[in-house]
Amino acid sequence: MVAVACLRAQTGVGPQVTSHIFGLRKAYEDGSYKAEGEDEVKGGEWLASDEGNMWILKSVDAIVEAIGSGMGTTFAPGIRPKL
């Protein structure tokens, strides 16, 4: 989730965002998200769902909007994500 948030806030790296979202989803589909001996991540399955993925993206977009005063990110001022 941190990697997705960082990439999403950066803009201009859409393929990497998509790859990380699909990686999150795949990890929950095949069970590889959990290392041996680790506790269950509360809410992890939801974050890996369509609704959870959209929540991650929209939450990051809202933070960028608030911090950037609607001007995009510091990495690419004036450029907004398309999704």
Cα–Cα distance for residue pair 83/26, rounded to 1 Å: 21
Q: Which pair of structure tokens corresponds to residue 32?
A: 């590889």
Stretch 15-42: mean pLDDT, rounded?
90
Largest CA-CA distance found in the chain, in angstroms, rounded: 45
pLDDT tens digits, residue range 52-66? Answer: 999 999 998 888 888
Residues in the chain: 83
Give the pLDDT score at 82: 60
More confident call, 68 vs 55:
55
Tokens 């990051």 locate to: 60
Q: Which pair of structure tokens corresponds to residue 66?
A: 């608030």
**pTM score:** 0.73
The mean pLDDT value of the chain amounts to 83
More confident call, 13 vs 49:
49
pLDDT at 2 over 90: no
Cα–Cα distance for residue pair 22/20, rounded to 1 Å: 5
